[in-house]
Structure 1
Amino acid sequence: MSEVLEIERRNQAWIFTLNRPQKMNALAPELVQALTEGIEAAHQENIPLMIFKGSGKNFCAGFDFSDLDTASEGDLLQRIIHIEILLDLLATSPAMTVALCHGRNFGAGVDIIASCKKRIATANTTFRFPGIKFGLILGTRRFQNIVGTQNALDILSSTRTFEAGEALNIGLIQQVREPEDWQSLIEQAENNNAILSDVTRRNLYKVLYPDTESDQNLAALVRSAAAPGLKERIRAYLKPN
């Protein structure tokens, strides 16, 4: 697997570590591809538990804008679509998925967290969805389904940063735990996962996490991203005030 993503393969759990700490684990194309291929490989191996965390100072800073000047609008659109496909693959996974997050997290990085079934953060974790500033509708329904329409509207329309305490109150995360506790949490997740048979767990997840919105999510994303002037909107967002 690519060095931008480390995977610890256990018998009953695979632990994915985003490994671009120098870029705050931003979602460069090679990281998105590595995550997609890694999740698909776990599905092929019938791995019942997948854990996601990030190296360095944070979990994930979202979309990687470092090559904005050289990328075409078509390139950007394709990359955004690949991220949505990744999110859908994760959100509809037949495995239990757990996000262990810390630090400052943005946009599609928060969408990865929201696509996991269990979400745990350290007390210093912050979250922000800036994509609406350049007209991008990515992962919105998943976030809405977790936190409710009013909370989603407030956070997404204001693009404000919110902290772990608020995330816990609205249900984006379920626990606040520090990294020294994560190994015990992983072991607990493995034990809890063994309670149900693979067939029962898969059937339960099909009911609780249906894939009926997948096409709608992708269509909404494409409509928002395909509007002319995407690069200029992103540049305006990135421009220092």
Structure 2
Amino acid sequence: MTVTAAQGILLADRQGDVTRLTLNRPGRGNALSAELVTALAAAVDACYLDGTRLLAIEGAGEHFCTGFDLGDLDSESDDSLLARFVRVELLLQSVHDAPFATVALVQGRAMGAGADLVAACEQRWIAQGSSFAFPGAAFGLVLGSARLARLVGTARAREWIAAGRAVRADDALAAGLASRMIPAEERAAALAGLAERARRLDAPTQAAIQAATLGGQAAVVAAGAAQLSELVRSAARPGLRARIAAYREASRR
């Protein structure tokens, strides 16, 4: 069964206990508008209740996701931007803590919040030529840093965040940000195998393993609270909109 959500900006396809969500704003590089984040969060929440055992997230067109949509910045305020970033972080936590298997299927660019969405997934499969970038620190934002550090190590995470440069596919794979490099023609078979593995564990067992490998349920809750707090502190500094506008202008040069 295929369901189109939020006027087509998110496509949801459920086949048995496998759900595939496709970010469907290819003309905008699948950038995360407020509407797309709302639709994606609702779809992930639905997976908690509908028996999904594997959730795959992908992007339509050339890129996976080019990050937070800055296209309508003139209509935003510091406060509205803060609210939007909080919703992104809550979405990332929902994906990361899911009691089912999750996989990001990456092609092209995964930038900013889009790269953070990849890092929130249990499996992170990339196509040759993919790249990642974490530019948020350029406008003072702390988003997803702890999840990235758990995957690639503290020193490398700090380096990538501070530099804001593109991380190429081979480097992402070697560092652990990407878990596999899979050609497009092999993706369907690989997904079938991942779904079969995911079915070995019921939701309570998957959730318990997730918590145990992160230090226990209390640690999971504390980590989520800490990451949300870090985000809010960074985004609540006066001048967020001006900092983003300056970053956007510098990126155009």
Determine if the TM-score, normalized by the shorter chain, exceeds 0.5.
yes
- 2:26 is the counterpart of 1:16: no
Q: 1:159 matched to which residue of 2?
A: 164
Q: What amino acid sits opposite 2:156 in the alignment?
A: N
Alignment of 1:78-97 (within 5 A): 78-97=83-102
Aligned equivalents of 1:196 and 1:93: distance in 2? 13
* CA offsets 1:41-94 (integer angstroms, 9 cap, x no match): 110113111001100001001100011011111111111111011001111111
- 2:202 is the counterpart of 1:192: no
- 2:219 is the counterpart of 1:223: no
* CA offsets 1:2-34 (integer angstroms, 9 cap, x no match): 211001112111001110001000000111001
User: SS of 2:75's equivalent?
Assistant: coil
Deviation at 1:167, TM superposition (A): 0.4
Q: 1:212 matched to which residue of 2?
A: 222
**Residue 246 of structure 2: which of 215, 236, 241 is its match?**
236
Structure 1 gap segments, 5+ residues each: none
Deviation at 1:236, TM superposition (A): 1.0
Q: 2:44 matched to which residue of 1?
A: 39
RMSD of equivalent CA atoms: 1.1
| TM-score normalised by the chain length of structure 2 | 0.92
Deviation at 1:126, TM superposition (A): 0.5
Deviation at 1:198, TM superposition (A): 3.7
User: SS of 1:52's equivalent?
Assistant: strand
| TM-score normalised by the chain length of structure 1 | 0.97
Structure 2 gap segments, 5+ residues each: 215-219
* CA offsets 1:84-116 (integer angstroms, 9 cap, x no match): 110011111111000010101210000000000
Aligned equivalents of 2:177 and 2:221: distance in 1? 20
- 2:176 is the counterpart of 1:171: yes
Which stretch has the larger CA shift, 188-197 or 103-112? 188-197
Alignment of 1:23-34 (within 5 A): 23-34=28-39
Q: What amino acid sits opposite 2:100 in the alignment?
A: A
User: SS of 2:48's equivalent?
Assistant: helix
Deviation at 1:163, TM superposition (A): 0.5
How many percent identity over aligned positions?
Answer: 35
